Structure 1
Amino acid sequence: MNKFLKKLMNINSKKQIPSNSTPSKAQEIEMKNISFETIKDEIKKIFGHTADLKADDILVGKSEAIIFYLDTVINTDFLKDMLGQTLESPVEQDIRITSVDELQAFGKKSFGVSGYKLIHTISEMTETILEGRIAVIIKGVPAALTISFINSEGRTVSEPTTQTVVRGPKDAFVEDISTNINLIRKRIKNHNLQFEKFKVGNETRTSVYIGSIKGIVNEKILEEVRKRIKDINISAVFESANIEELIQDKSATVFPLALNTERPDSVSSALLDGKIAIITDGTPFILLVPAVLTDFFISSEDNYQNYFMSSFIRMIRYLSFMIGLLMPSAYVGVLTFHPELLPTTLLLSVIAQREGVPFPAVIEVFIMEITFEILREAGVRMPRAVGQTVSIVGALVIGQAAAEAGIISNIMVIIVAITAIANFVFPNYSFANASRLIRFVLIIVASILGLYGVLLVLIFMVAHLSSLRSFGVPYLAPVAPFIVEDQKDIFIRTPIWFQNKRPAYLSPTTLDKQKPQGSPSPPKQSKGGSGD
């Protein structure tokens, strides 16, 4: 069987197309080597019979020309107005373009602010047309002029849907990559903030940007991120999750090794700490790397509240993680193997409630947990107008009816409800999913080995977390290895004026975040009192 799988994988690997594969020879032909009519035929041949490819014959002054564009991608109204005034205006009727230099001078004069550029091969022209640009080909000139007229229509900036806050900015990323970069630059007005562009996906050619701050980011980590993105070999990329799965350290784990967020303030703060942002076109979720375990317990709102309150809420998150992870398995383990751990009064109350329940504790827990998971998914997938109502009413009705019918006990309803609520406390949804999966493993082990099995799984989980790396950074940093200076914003949040250093586990180029400063002291009162 193993030999068959290896042979199958070898066959598939031979059929793979490299991500940086060169286009066909026809696409690589330079325009200076073919005639005007051949260029038109090549472009039409490459795009086939697609209905949205337009090829219009025009006059640029006295020169014959043709423009290629996809009318479903560009802003056709803007195109007609601008080209009508520029390419075919009476002022320009006397010009004749016969060389590349004249074409460049014309582009600079007419489209200097529109991001024009010259291209010299068929492959470049194909790519620019797909990007939402128009290509102007003038007869007798061995180059083409391309101008951007992309249709910028899309979802407007609105409030976050998965990472809401009570106090703080209310804007969130959208599907347009230019808008997302603008939201970051609005917060970080620093010339050292740099973005590198990549094309990922053999078929989709999705734009992916790497954002970092020069002079802060660790150059070795940045180079590793750059290398992994260049090495991606996949046919299509539609969401940042595809990038995350392809660049994370090769480890079989349920824990996310990259932090995703739709909040511009979270990305800006992470960039200033020395992290790297990976921005994918077509998705509002930005990846932040390297990511460590404690990042998933920190919310951007922590910096907008009093540090005492932020520290208290953060401790609640850690407590909620343990409750959501352990409560159902602890219930199964105690009732099945260790009832002596419960106080007598509580034990008698639980036994009385379970009297008449036909299932053992583990089956009871699985019935409720799976039912709740079904209700959760139904609430997400159903139309928004009825989804929340169905999930809430369904949980109440089904839970009460099952308890009254004697299928489950009332204590079981309480435990599952507390577990579910605790699981929603996490600021990051992907980390909550990891907790959900591990909870089922703990329940199964608790039904076989009791609390000893639960403890054994926790030991293996901690050992597994210790072995994980995110772009070379230990996943449990700065707890293991323990870094004293980084503890100022891990389990509790110290005052902002006390956080003078960037996270040392990221090994930033510049460790100092701000000059040491103390809390402002109250003004000294004059000796003569307020009347003097």
Structure 2
Amino acid sequence: MSILKSLLKMRKKKELPIQIEEPPDADAGADLKTLSLEQLKEKIKDEFGSTIDLSMDDLKTEGKDALLVYLTSMVDTKQLKETFLQSLSGKHDGLKLTTEDDLKSLCKEKFGGAGYQLIETFNDIITALLFGNIIIVFKDLEKALSLSMASSEDRSITEPSTQTVIRGPKDGFVESISTNVSLLRRRIKNRNLRFEKFIIGSETNTSVYIGYMEGISNKKIVEEVRKRLRKIKVHAIFESGNIEELIADKTATPFPLALNTERPDTVAANLLDGKIVILVDGTPFVLLVPAVLVDFFSIAEDYYQNFMMGSFLRIIRYLAFMIALITPSLYVGILTFHHELLPTPLLLGIIAQREGVPFPAVIEVLIMEVTFEILREAGVRMPRAVGQTVSIVGALVIGQAAAEAGIISNIMVIIVAITAIANFVSPTYSFAAAARLLRFMLIIVSAILGLYGVLLVLVFIVAHLSSLRSFGVAYLSPVAPFIIEQQKDVFFRFPFWSMRQRPAYLKTQNPEKMPKTGSPSPPPMKGERAN
């Protein structure tokens, strides 16, 4: 037994991957005190090559030689010329830049509110340049001055393009992460709103922020978000979708495990409920985690109108999702195996329409579904002026022509149209895409097993949903596991004053959202006794 154990241990050791650590570049992290201005200039040129947007200028202030370095494509050059250089060229009586303390005094006097930073390594200089800072290196000083002067050429705040608003705020997130943070700060004027910064992507150095409410959000979930972001080791991050895929609990699923949105009011409401927001620089789509199935059927607008209307619209969304998911497969299953489920007049009418159709029902459905998906994709990729016209007119013309040519039946055009319209009801595009994918699987199974196959796939989907987790939270919460106190905002929306508790599945530090006040009531009329 001891020999066997020894062999197993040796085998395990052999299976371990060999990690070879490359020796660090000694020059890359060199201190500034070891480099002259000329040497530093040459090293920066070697680092950036012959890029045209690198600017290096020699300065002289207070009798001290200095080097000004910045990337013209990242810096607001107008602010640099009008504000910074004029300030630096002024006289400072009695001040000599000979020590680090002198440099700190200069910074406090001239750049006290500018967010300056003193850096001392070559790596720090390169990183600061890439983030839109200007660098001033003074001769014979061990630290350099770094000032943030990034250009502010961003898209103006407009209404979200993917989530239209009837009643509610019209502003939406933009590509600038600092602007997005300010949109949240304007809505939540609370000192407990926290933001933490991560730099992800070895080549892109993309800024990623997480935001949460201190004293409300579950500390374990916040720490889990931090942990997963730190584990990301990729060369580039361009959109929040990259982050979503890298931090998801499970990737082999068509259902999104993080809620993405362009609306600041949606994010603010979820932050106050105890969720965590992930913002990525360069995209207007932010992520909310943990996400549960209910989140994809409710929108902020539900809370801006009467609770009865909000509940009605939410039920419509659930119903539309089921219509988009199973209508084509029901058509195939009934026409192939279960004719007895249709009233006789309707069945005779459908058979009469399909008399000249040369294909079975499943081929007919697949032809129309694939055609519509092609038209939908073409409408998205075409220029806006003609894209919508191409998708709508194309569907009508092709559907009518195919029906007249006898390739498909008229009832098939109705089925595909209802399915497509129901799919557009979903407020989240990524969740609607899940229904589009599963619809094809249901169509094929219904052609083989009929409605029994449809029921089998639906059971499988429910089992799959039950197995999903988003940062450890059950995807079907608060329905499974069933929490009766949390049913006030699932299928129906109860009055706003009655929803006093935050979602129990988040296990927030402060479960109570508002004190118990009871339903509002009018004051008693004159002569009536107040209750």
Partner of 1:7: none
Which residue identity is paired with 1:154?
D
Partner of 1:30: 31
Q: Which moved more, 1:397-406 or 1:180-189?
A: 397-406
Following the alignment from structure 1 to structure 2, what is the Cα–Cα distance between the partners of residues 500 and 380?
A: 42
Partner of 1:222: 222
Partner of 2:64: 63
Deviation at 1:25, TM superposition (A): 2.7
**Counterpart check, 1:519 vs 2:519:** yes
Following the alignment from structure 1 to structure 2, what is the Cα–Cα distance between the partners of residues 322 and 32?
A: 68
Following the alignment from structure 1 to structure 2, what is the Cα–Cα distance between the partners of residues 199 and 403?
A: 56
Partner of 1:5: none
Contact 2:37-2:66 within 8 A present in 1 as well: no
Q: Give the secondary-structure state (helix, strand or coil) at the position aligned to 2:516.
A: coil
Contact 1:500-1:512 within 8 A present in 2 as well: yes
Partner of 1:86: 87
Which residue identity is paired with 1:253?
T
Which residue identity is paired with 2:48?
F
1:161-310 map, 5 Å: 161-310=161-310
Contact 1:62-1:93 within 8 A present in 2 as well: no
Q: Give the secondary-structure state (helix, strand or coil) at the position aligned to 1:87.
A: helix
Following the alignment from structure 1 to structure 2, what is the Cα–Cα distance between the partners of residues 387 and 525?
A: 60
Partner of 1:148: 148
- Structure 2, unaligned runs of 5 or more: 1-13
Contact 1:26-1:42 within 8 A present in 2 as well: no
Deviation at 1:154, TM superposition (A): 1.3
**Counterpart check, 1:424 vs 2:424:** yes
1:124-163 map, 5 Å: 124-163=124-163
Following the alignment from structure 1 to structure 2, what is the Cα–Cα distance between the partners of residues 471 and 491?
A: 23
Following the alignment from structure 1 to structure 2, what is the Cα–Cα distance between the partners of residues 171 and 23?
A: 47
Contact 1:23-1:123 within 8 A present in 2 as well: no
Q: Deviations along 1:16-44, whole A, 9 cap, x unmatched?
A: 99xxx997332211112333322222222
TM-score (norm 1): 0.94
Q: Deviations along 1:499-520, whole A, 9 cap, x unmatched?
A: 0000000110110001011222
Partner of 2:433: 433
Q: Deviations along 1:368-401, whole A, 9 cap, x unmatched?
A: 1011101101110000111011111111111111
> What percentage of residue pairs aligned between the two structures are identical?
61
Which residue identity is paired with 1:316?
I
Partner of 1:6: none
Contact 2:95-2:102 within 8 A present in 1 as well: no
Aligned residues: 515
Contact 1:198-1:207 within 8 A present in 2 as well: yes
The runs of at least 4 consecutive aligned structure 1 residues that moved more than 4 Å come to: 13-17
TM-score (norm 2): 0.94
**Counterpart check, 1:446 vs 2:446:** yes
Following the alignment from structure 1 to structure 2, what is the Cα–Cα distance between the partners of residues 251 and 237?
A: 18
Following the alignment from structure 2 to structure 1, what is the Cα–Cα distance between the partners of residues 276 and 20?
A: 30
Deviation at 1:98, TM superposition (A): 1.4
Q: Deviations along 1:68-116, whole A, 9 cap, x unmatched?
A: 1000111111101123311123x24874311111111111111111111
TM-align CA RMSD: 1.9
Which residue identity is paired with 2:44?
I
Which residue identity is paired with 1:385?
A
Partner of 2:54: 53
Deviation at 1:251, TM superposition (A): 4.1
Q: Give the secondary-structure state (helix, strand or coil) at the position aligned to 1:197.
A: strand
Q: Deviations along 1:97-153, whole A, 9 cap, x unmatched?
A: 111111111111111111111001111110000000000000011110011111011
Change beyond 3 A, Cα 1:480–1:23: farther
Partner of 2:6: none
Following the alignment from structure 1 to structure 2, what is the Cα–Cα distance between the partners of residues 152 and 221?
A: 34
Partner of 1:119: 119
- Structure 1, unaligned runs of 5 or more: 1-9
Partner of 2:312: 312
Q: Deviations along 1:221-251, whole A, 9 cap, x unmatched?
A: 0000000000001000000000000001134
Deviation at 1:15, TM superposition (A): 9.5
Partner of 2:471: 471
